[in-house]
């Protein structure tokens, strides 16, 4: 297993970092040290200050999409996990309902994305329904191929990654602690904020790491649901690759990696991941 | 179960049902729409019911060679499944004792899992490209002249593509193995050893039967994750495409319901595999209950 990871994960990662500091021309990479991959990426950024250049805007937008998705998946994921862990009483039902949440995860992401088209499109169900009851006169254009649809699809696809670890933490909470909280006179809300949330923190952190890393690097969902019009960190890499500018793609990958590692290390400060498995 | 449920139960249950509808609703929309009549479009209402679009997919009209992509994905998925099961079980067993490099392997697996897919994909593409360049440039000197001259690329479905998929499936397999062995009673193995079983016999007749349902689960993850994998394959698959890649390509060009028909077919394979795997797991668990433990039944 280590061999597989070494060959297909560690070595590629090292190469990305090395190649990011290579020179390149229109059609090939040149193994000579150069920061062109980085400087080309941020071309004109210093000159344009204090206005943000396109590349910085793109990274900021990626972070923004990521934060919105994170918040939504967290709230939905936490609520679903809470229901499964504390309100579903028999083990069998817990398994059945968890499976119900898991099955979509085993099916294709692309299909789950295109599935939104008949609902959100100009002639889609949502627009027709809203026009039918007279809320709007014209079809809403921002429903599909917009940031709204991107976030919707991301939440749709990745809430699962929140539900599982949070549920996993919650089922380990000793139920007597909650009873004790009630006996001591805590309201439901106080029990939630003072007992349940602190004890399910490991799950929340693990789920957050999943969602944030996936969304930061995503280019497929943003591509399909954004109608190939919205830029993101992942899409920069993809378009550099399509232009065969490998060092530039690698440079962007290193930047993305740096941001991701920063976020993860901040999160792992809060909890020791290994202890929780 | 007798006591009355609090009001929060009903609110949360409603929330849960809404979530499940949110999960499944859109999917069922396209399953229904794939049976659209010949004149139907991409959205509701249905314009009659027909199998026209499925016929289009099978005859390949207007769509790139879907049949071939289908077979490629299927083959790759099966190979990934087998390798994921074998490697995960082996690694899972190894992790029960501490060994040198255990924590490095663990952190590598986690890193591989959460690494943005595009970076892994890019890295693998670079790795193979550099290898190709190296071979073409230096192959002639090393006595590989004839070979290097015709060399095009080492990239392909079962080299770089397979590797890319394994970086995604193996961490899941490993985590499932951890979950299994956290609950595994080590005394069972001791008992087997005390009765004179060899390590292999212990594994084959004691450990494996107990963990088998979960191993089937690892296989399920291995196949379905590979079958639907897109981001990691995107740069690393070489000249041919897998089914999800073809499907993604179609989203920008196709304006007819045949894309839904293809989606329905792809999902049908997923659901079939899930159903088979769950059925096998249930059968295995039922057998375990029947044959498994006679503890507490006394001498008969």
Q: What is the pLDDT of residue A208?
A: 87
Closest to A238 (Cα-Cα) out of A250, A226, A225, A229: A250
Q: How far is B266 from chain A, CA to nearest CA, in Å?
A: 8
Residue B235: in which H helix or E strand, if any?
helix B233-236
Considering only alpha carbons, which residue of chain A is nearest residue B84?
A1
Average pLDDT for residues B13-39, to the nearest whole number? 78
**More confidently predicted of A71 and A118:** A71
Chain centroid to Cα B105, Å, comes to 21
Residues facing residue B36 across a β-bridge:
B49
**CA nearest A157: which of B236, B27, B175, B115?**
B27
Rounded CA separation A54/A236 (Å)? 11
Per-residue pLDDT tens over the stretch A19-76: 666 666 555 666 666 666 666 666 666 666 666 667 777 788 888 888 888 889 898 8
- Model pLDDT, residue B2: 44
* Per-residue model confidence as pLDDT tens digits over A80-90: 888 888 877 77
Interchain CB distance below 8 Å, B9 and A87: yes
pLDDT, greater one: A116 or A21 = A116
Closest CA to A15 of B159, B129, B133: B129
Percent of chain A with pLDDT over 90: 0
User: Is the Cβ pair A119, B29 closer than 8 Å?
Assistant: yes
* pLDDT greater than 50 at residue A136: yes
Structural domain includes residue A153 = yes
Q: Return d(Cα B45, Cα A87) in angstroms, integer.
A: 39
Domain residue extents for chain B: 65-253
pLDDT surpassing 70 at residue B150: no
**The dihedral formed by the CA atoms of B149, B152, B155 and B157, expressed in degrees to the nearest 10:** -120
**Residue B295 pLDDT:** 46
d(Cα A220, Cα B121) in Å, to the nearest integer? 13
* Token duo for residue B33: 């729409």
pLDDT at A204 (0 to 100): 86
Question: In chain A, how many domains are there?
Answer: 1
Window 131-150 of A, Cβ < 8 Å to B: none
Maximum mean pLDDT: which of A235-244, B219-228, B238-247? B219-228
Q: How far apart are CA B279 and CA B262, in angstroms?
A: 26
Q: Would residue A176 count as lying in a domain?
A: yes
- CATH number, domain of A250, equals 1.10.3720.10
Which structure tokens are listed for B293? 């433990």
pLDDT band at B297 (very low <50, low <70, confident <90, very high): very low
Q: Is A257 on the interface with B (CB under 8 A)?
A: yes
User: From the centroid of its chain, how far is CA A87?
Assistant: 28
Residue A215 domain-assigned (yes or no): yes
As assigned by CATH, the class of the B65-253 domain is: mainly alpha
Q: Average pLDDT in the B158-181 region?
A: 81
Torsion (CA) B117, B122, B123, B129 in degrees, nearest 10: 150
Q: Is the peptide bond before B45 cis (omega within 30 degrees of 0)?
A: yes
**pLDDT reading at B293 higher than 60:** no
Contact B12 A79 (CB under 8 A): yes
pLDDT in tens, A155-206: 888 888 888 888 888 888 878 888 888 888 777 778 887 888 888 888 888 8
Has residue B181 got a pLDDT over 60?
yes
The average pLDDT across B89-114 equals: 79
Give the pLDDT of residue B1. Answer: 41
Q: What is the pLDDT of residues B236-292, one digit of tens each?
A: 666 667 777 777 777 666 666 677 777 787 788 888 888 888 888 888 888 877 775
Picking from A27, A66, A108, A262 by the largest number of B CB atoms within 10 A of its own CB, the best residue to mutate is: A108
The whole-number pLDDT of residue B300 equals: 39
Range of the domain at A86: 63-276
Q: What is the pLDDT of residue A248?
A: 75
pLDDT in tens, B57-68: 666 655 566 777
Q: Tell me, yes or no, whether A155 lies in a domain.
A: yes
Of B163 and B47, the structure prediction assigns the larger pLDDT to B163
Give the helix/strand (H/E) hosting A159.
helix A147-171
Q: Does A159 touch chain B (CB under 8 A)?
A: yes
């Amino acid at each position: 297993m280590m061999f597989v990871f070494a060959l297909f994960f560690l070595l590629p990662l090292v190469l990305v970092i090395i190649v990011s500091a290579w020179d390149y021309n229109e059609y090939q990479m040149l193994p000579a040290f150069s920061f062109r991959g980085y400087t080309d990426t941020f071309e004109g950024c210093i000159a344009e200050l204090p206005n943000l250049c396109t590349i910085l805007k793109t990274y900021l937008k990626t972070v923004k999409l990521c934060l919105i998705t994170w918040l939504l998946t967290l709230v939905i994921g936490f609520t679903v996990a809470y229901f499964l862990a504390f309100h579903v009483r028999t083990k069998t039902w817990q398994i059945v309902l968890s499976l119900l949440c898991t099955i979509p995860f085993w099916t294709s992401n692309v299909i789950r994305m295109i599935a939104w088209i008949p609902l959100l499109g100009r002639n889609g169900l949502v627009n027709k329904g809203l026009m039918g009851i007279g809320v709007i006169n014209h079809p809403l254009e921002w429903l599909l191929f917009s940031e709204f649809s991107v976030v919707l699809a991301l939440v749709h696809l990745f809430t699962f990654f929140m539900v599982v670890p949070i549920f996993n933490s919650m089922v380990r909470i000793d139920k007597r602690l909650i009873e004790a909280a009630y006996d001591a006179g805590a309201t439901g809300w106080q029990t939630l904020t003072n007992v349940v949330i602190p004890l399910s923190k490991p799950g929340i952190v693990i789920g957050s790491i999943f969602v944030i890393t996936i969304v930061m690097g995503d280019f497929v969902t943003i591509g399909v649901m954004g109608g190939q019009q919205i830029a993101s960190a992942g899409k920069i890499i993809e378009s550099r690759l399509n232009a065969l500018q490998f060092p530039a793609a690698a440079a962007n990958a290193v930047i993305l990696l740096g941001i991701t590692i920063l976020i993860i290390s901040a999160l792992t400060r809060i909890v020791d991941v290994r202890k929780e498995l | 179960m007798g006591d009355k449920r609090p009001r929060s139960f009903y609110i949360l249950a409603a929330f849960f049902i809404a979530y499940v509808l949110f999960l499944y609703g859109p999917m069922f929309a396209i399953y229904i729409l794939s049976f659209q009549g010949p004149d139907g479009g991409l959205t509701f209402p249905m314009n009659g019911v027909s199998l026209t679009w499925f016929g289009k997919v099978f005859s390949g009209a207007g769509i790139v060679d879907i049949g071939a992509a289908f077979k490629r994905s299927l083959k790759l998925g099966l190979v990934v499944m087998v390798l994921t099961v074998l490697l995960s079980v082996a690694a899972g067993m190894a992790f029960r004792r501490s060994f040198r490099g255990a924590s490095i392997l663990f952190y590598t697996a986690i890193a591989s899992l959460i690494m943005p897919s595009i970076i892994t994909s890019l890295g693998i593409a670079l790795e193979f490209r550099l290898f190709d360049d190296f071979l073409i440039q230096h192959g002639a000197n090393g006595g590989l002249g004839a070979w290097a001259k015709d060399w095009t690329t080492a990239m392909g479905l079962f080299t770089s593509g397979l590797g890319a998929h394994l970086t995604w499936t193996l961490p899941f397999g490993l985590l499932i193995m951890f979950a299994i062995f956290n609950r595994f009673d080590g005394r069972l193995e001791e008992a087997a050893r005390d009765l004179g079983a060899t390590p292999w016999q212990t594994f084959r007749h004691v450990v494996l039967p107990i963990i088998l349902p979960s191993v089937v689960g690892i296989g399920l993850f291995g196949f379905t994750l590979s079958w639907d994998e897109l981001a990691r394959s995107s740069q690393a698959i070489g000249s041919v495409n897998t089914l999800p890649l073809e499907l993604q390509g179609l989203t920008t060009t196709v304006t007819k319901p045949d894309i839904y028909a293809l989606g329905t077919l792809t999902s049908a394979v997923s659901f079939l595999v899930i159903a088979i795997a769950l059925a096998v797991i249930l059968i295995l668990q039922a057998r375990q209950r029947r044959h498994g433990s006679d503890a507490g039944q006394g001498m008969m």
